[in-house]
Every structure is written in C-alpha cells, then in structure tokens.
Structure 1
C-alpha cells in the first residue's frame, strides 16, 4: 500500500520541502561531523543511457549541483550501469568499499537489490531509492507518482482518439518487467483505458529498449494487420520513437502514439504531430529532493517524521517523496517544458522545426 505525499511539480515546492525535512515539529538527530579535512561521501548510481538520455543529461548534474550547494564537505561518486544489473552490483559494492555514507540508487533490476541494501546497512551505509523503489530496507524513496503517470498516459491516448476511442484497438508496449515503475505505469494506463477502448489488442514488454520495441511493434502489425491498430501506448519516449518508425515503415498513418520523459526529440515529435503526447516529470524537484535527503542522511539527520510511508512487498515503511507528473501535448509545450526551464525554445526550434514551433506558439 502506498500513502504518497503528492507535491506540485515545481522546483520551489519540492526543494523547499526537501530542504526543511527536519522542520514540522521534528527533533533532528545529532549531526555527525566529518573528520578534520574529511568529506561526506555520497554515491550516485543510475541505471542506463541507451533508452533515455535523462540520466546523464539531467539527473547526474542536477543532483551533483544540489549536493555540493548544500554541503561543502560532500563529495559525489558517480557510475552509470549501462542497463547491466551485474555491472551495477559491482558499482554498488565499490562505493560501499570506498566508504561512502549514502548511496542514491536507481536500480536496473529492483528485484535484485535487497541483499545489496541490507549488506550496506550492516556497514552503516544508507541507501536512498531514487526514481525506482529498490528492494530492501532503503532509508528513503524519491520519485513521481507512477500509477498517476500511467493514468495520465492512458487518458492522453483516449483524448487523442476522441470519439474513436470506443472502437479502438490499442497496442501497449510496456517497460521492463524488472522495473517496478513499469508495472505501476502499466497498471495506471489500464485504469484509464480498460472499458474505454474496444480492447487492448496486443500487449508486450519493450524492455525499455527501442530495438525490442521495434520488434514487438512489427509483431503487432503482423498479427493485427494495418487496419487493426488505432493507437499505441509506449511506456517511454525512446520506445515511442521506435514505434512511430515501425508504423511509418508499414505505411500506417494517423495512429496516435504516446510516450514519457519529455526528451527533446519527443517534444519535437509532439510539435510536428508524429507523437500525441509525452509525460513531463520535472527533473529538478526530484533531484533537489534526492540530493537534500542524501545530504541530511550523510550528516546524521532523521528524515522519517516528515515523509509519508510506503509499504513494499516486505512490509517495510519507507519515508517517501512522490511528485506529480505533467502531460505535454502540442498546445502545452510552451507552458510546460519551456516555461518550466527544461529546454529553451531555441534548443527545440531548430530550422527543421521552426514552423511547427511557430504554429504551437513556442518562442
């Protein structure tokens, strides 16, 4: 059961709460100062870079900025697993051996992490589950409301279909089964779509890999025929791009496809009409909260009294901060990803997309 604290997706709100986690009547635990000339080591482990560009482009620099801005004696050790759970286990062990005090972990495969987390706890290393809820006794969890993300994806697909929804066959290309977030996105999407469309005619995991999504989409086309697909749910933008290319190659037109992550390529596809929507999960509120919690844990502060509880399959109550995602459609590009500071209009509106930007009022 999840009892989430839902925050508005604004940097100010999230940062303000994250920076004042010891307020609200809480008595802070004593800080543990670093030894003279020492530092508070914080590890950051991110899962991959092939399917989503967000981790190296946004999460890493923003978390680093938050941590170093709050703690002059804090150092960041960083590694990206490249989608390899075995590699991430070694990276995790290396950071524990290095003597970090806190590890921010976005797991490749959350089902594998309980022994890692528990072993780290035994050595006094706190683990914060970042973006995906890792298994084990993590000290905190920072993410977005994933079922709400899925509901927004499903509802946006219904909106794109309009009156055709009730007679629509929908294809679903979900995220990796090893990712607990993917299951929550899927569940939320079903909550929105089930009973509102004719049927979910084909549903498979794309494993967060564009090449797998291409193969699954081609399989769906072969199974259902060119006239048997009216919309496609793709769990993220990397897979949405692959789906769109597969539909084009098969000569299938006017099929709305949605994604998630608000990659700049997806924003451009939304502007040109190739992609119906994406989901914007503002990185800075999430990275601000994660960096702030990591610093407070490194300094020995107790954060649990100011966060709601998440009960995982092991019955553990994890202090959590869950943020609210935002739908981006063509009319909303200016107010969301540009107004929110994710991209400058000049970044999006290269010569190729100048007219699409003008038509959508992106400037």
Structure 2
C-alpha cells in the first residue's frame, strides 16, 4: 500500500510539474485550497504549512495558509473565510476537534471536501479523509523506550515514574497516552514502576493546549510535594514542548543536567534534538511532516480531479459519527544513538542546526 501511494503521488507531481508555478504566466490555476493550521507556537506546524504550500503550488493550486494561534474562534472564522473565498478543498489541523461541526457543515453545503490533518476532527460527518501518523504506535514507542532504558524486563527497577499526556481536546492525545500505557501498565501493576503521585488517569495528567508552561507548573508541584524526599526516575511526556517545560522544572528543582530522569518526547523539534544530542532528553518520536504533507496533497488532488484518494486504514479512526478513511504514516523513535542517521542523513536538519 505504501509503495502504491508513493508511486501515485510521484506521478501526480510529475504531471503537475509540467504546469510550472501557478504564479507564472500561462500556468494552470487549479483553484484555491484552504490550509487551516492550529498554531505557530510549535515548529512542526510551521513546517507542515510550508511543506503543503510548496507542494500545492507545484500542482498549480493557490493556497490560503492560516494559523489560528490556538484560538478555536479564530480558526472557525478563518475556515469560514476560506469557504466564502470559494476554496476547492480544505485541509484542517484542528485546535479543538470537537468545535468545528457547524462551520464544516457549511463547507459540506458548498460541496467543499475537508481533509482532517493529523488531528482527527470529531462529531461531524463532514470530513472526507484523515491524514496522520500511527498515533497509538507513537505512544508504544515512548513507553517502550522507558521500559528498555530502565531495563525493567531484565531485572531493573523498581523505579518511580510520572505521567504526562497531551491536550484533552485533541483526539490524538488519547491515542498517544493509551499506546504508552499499553506498555507501562503491566509494570505499574507489578510494582516495577510506581506512580507516586497517584495521578494515572488521562484527565489528571492531560496538558491543556500542549503547553510547556502548564507542564512545568505541574512538574514543579510534583517536585515540591510528592518528590520532596524522593527521586523521580522516569517521566512519560508525549511532546517535545512539554518535555522542555518538564526539564526546566527539574533543573530549577535541583536535578543536574547529566542526571535527569528518563524523558520521552515527540516531533523531533530542533531545540529538543539539541537536548538529545547533549544527553538531557532521552528520546523523541520523529514524524516526517514532509511525507504527511504529501499525503494531504494526494488526497486533495484526487478529490478535486475526480479520483479516489489512497488510504490504508478504514476502521481504526471513528470520529463519533463515522469511520473516517485514513492514510497512516509510520513514526520513528529517535535517540542520541540514531539522530544523526535519521535526522541529519535524512535531510530533516543539518548538523550545524543541531550543534548551533
């Protein structure tokens, strides 16, 4: 399936490339595509927007790329404007996947297809397809890194662990958390891992808007109370920005830079890759958003030109109304041992960016 998708996209780009830049004189104008992204507060979303802009331009589409600064009301207004401007399709990275039903209903009435991008939009029939990564597997990778680093399957432990999850209004956050807990729960039950705070439910450990400052405040509270006379050995963190907030709290709480707990992350943000290279953050999960942008482009172009987008999952992602046909990409775990090969040799970052 992946080979079929790659070949199909390559053909689409090759054919479209004959048209050149849509800004060029005589180049085809295949219409407007609206790109509604959640925030510029994370480097990865900036990259998503730039990648899609470039690829849609190659295909002859104009784009309206908008960032809503984590304000759902602003995102709704931006999507409405894209509808009013006559967009041929919408690609939406939702801030709150439960709040877009009404505006997407207007898109459906105007016969504008909607691609749910990376974050599943819930409680509406008016999304056509979903482009994302295997989000449960992301969590499995994070949990597995903790277990392997603490050598829990080889006589290691017992160890103290604290749990952090993503934003409760993001459907992906539960997938990440459940994936990690599928690995960690047996060790918690056996006593090899102890959550000394007792905070293990998703609602207790969720981090609103994925905000590193919110995570820092919670970690600082845990250090003052639960760990006043104890040491935390591992921390499940679902996202690099949250991890950096946790590290700030740990450092301010007296943990040395070379003696931090086992820490996970996600998105391979450059600041966190630097921490991994320096031995402070242990792991991140890399999701090549260049490839995710290609998936969204393939889906939109197929819909606009009367084709059928390629998918590889039709059952895993139900948004509360329907099973949404999905294309899942595979994430990659990144540590100090392989960041050079995966991120530098793979062309995602340069060595100078990481060392700078």
Q: TM over 0.5, yes or no?
A: yes
2:160 to 134, 151, 169: 169
**Larger relative strand fraction:** 1
Q: Secondary structure of the residue that 2:186 maps to in structure 1? A: coil
TM-score, normalised by the number of residues in structure 2: 0.85
Distance in 2, Cα, partners of 1:295 & 1:92:
19
Does 1:42 find its partner at 2:27?
no
Match of 1:146 among 127, 135, 152: 135
2:174 to 165, 183, 196: 183
TM-score in terms of structure 1 length: 0.83
Task: Give the counterpart of 2:249 among 242, 246, 267.
Answer: 246
The answer as to whether partners of 1:171 and 1:229 remain within 8 angstroms in 2 is yes
Q: Which piece of structure 1 moves more, 139-148 or 36-45?
A: 36-45
1:237 Cα deviation (Å)? Answer: 0.6
From the superposition, tell whether residues 264 and 187 of structure 1 become closer, same or farther in structure 2 (CA, over 3 Å): same
Please give the per-residue CA displacement for 1:21-44, whole angstroms capped at 9, x wherever unaligned. Answer: 9xxxxxxxxxxxxxx985411000
| Unpaired runs of at least 5, structure 2 | 13-26, 200-204
- The reply on whether 1:205 has 2:220 as its aligned counterpart is no
Distance 1:13 1:270, change over 3 A: farther
Checking the alignment, whether the CA contact within 8 Å between 1:110 and 1:132 is kept in structure 2 is yes
**Paired residue for 1:32?**
none
**1:38/1:347 CA distance change after superposition, 3 Å:** closer
Shift in CA distance, 312/160, structure 1 to aligned 2, threshold 3 Å: same
Check conservation: 2:121, 2:319, Cα contact below 8 A. Answer: no
How many residue pairs get aligned? The number is: 322
Write the distance in 2 (CA, Å) between the matches of 1:191 and 1:334.
Answer: 29
Deviations 1:169-213 (A, max 9, x none): 211121100000011101001011112242333441222001101
Spell out the pairing of 1:252-267 with structure 2 (5 A cutoff). 252=255, 253-267=259-273
Q: How far did 1:141 drift?
A: 0.5
Cα separation, 2, equivalents of 1:316 and 1:84? 26
Residues 67 and 158 of structure 1, relative CA distance in 2, 3 Å threshold: same
- Distance change in 2, residues 1:284/1:165 (3 Å): farther
Q: Residue 235 of structure 1 corresponds to which residue in structure 2? A: 238
Partners in 2 of 1:16 and 1:205 — Cα distance? Answer: 39
Match of 2:222 in 1: 220
Segment of structure 1 superposing worse, 83-92 or 203-212: 203-212
How far is the alpha carbon of 1:105 from its aligned partner? 0.3
Give the alignment partner of residue 92 of structure 2, picking from 94, 97, 105: 105
Task: Please say if 1:75 is aligned against 2:62.
Answer: yes
Following superposition, the deviation at residue 256 of structure 1 comes to 1.4
Equivalent residue of 1:176, what SS? coil
| Equivalent position of 1:55 in the other structure | 45
**What is the Cα deviation at residue 298 of structure 1?**
2.3
Please state whether the residue corresponding to 2:314 is helix, strand or coil.
strand
**Bigger RCO of structures 1 and 2 (CA < 8 A, at least 6 apart):** 1
1:42 and 1:298 in contact (8 A); partners too: no
- C-alpha distance in 1 between matches for 2:99 and 2:179: 24
Q: CA contact under 8 A between 2:344 and 2:351: conserved in structure 1?
A: yes
- Please, which runs of 5 or more residues in structure 1 have no aligned partner? 22-35, 351-363
> CA RMSD for the aligned pairs?
2.2
